[in-house]
Amino acid sequence: MSHRRLTGRLVIATHNGGKLREMRELMAPYGIDCVSAGELGLPEPEETGVTFMENALIKARAAAFAANLPALADDSGLCVAALDGAPGIYSARWAGESKDFTAAMALVEEKVKALGCTTPEQRKSWFISALAIVWPDGHSEEFEGRIDGVLVDPPRGTAGFGYDPCFLPEGHSRTFGEMTSDEKHGLPADGSLALSHRARAFQMLAKACLD
């Protein structure tokens, strides 16, 4: 399958400062000029999809058509096995209008504890990141990454954003909230698998559309 190469200017279809920072860091080595949907004053479209990828495509299409530029959108979230995959695509909504992820993490913990989930086996969770690039002519490219781990309580660390402090990735002793940006999503020079869900999706995107 052939992929379309991404060059020039790109809209990062987000109004989330933490997500924008990570996407700009990932794009930096490729010389892509990134501007956010927020900086362009673009409205946030209603996310009516039932999967991460459907929502990523909704956001990327809205930004690409409004700005007449290629647009990259990420839709990502925390999925908890004991909660049948919730909060999932509703991860941001669990944080409410004020985007209070401290409250969102407390809500997740409350629901998990109500089910009697105390062991790591019972607290399995994963992060998903769906990345979609859409060009003004409607062409799209789609990539999805996943990282498995467990929920920890209390949350640890102040780095990252969102649910990072309550997520301990498999095989590690520190949460995403305790890791530097390079540790969390730095792309290994040897081509081995990146750590974070977003970096794993971006590895696929870079190989297809940037390298």
Dist CA 199 CA 201 (whole Å): 5
**In what order do the strands lie in the sheet containing 167-169?**
33-36, 9-12, 71-80, 124-134, 140-151, 167-169
Q: Which of 33, 75, 100, 164 is catalytic?
A: 75
Active site residue 182: no
8 Å CB contact between 187 and 202: yes
Q: Is 87 helix (H, G, I), strand (E, B) or coil?
A: strand
Q: How far apart are CA 126 and CA 206, in angstroms?
A: 23
**Could you give the residue numbers annotated as active site?**
75
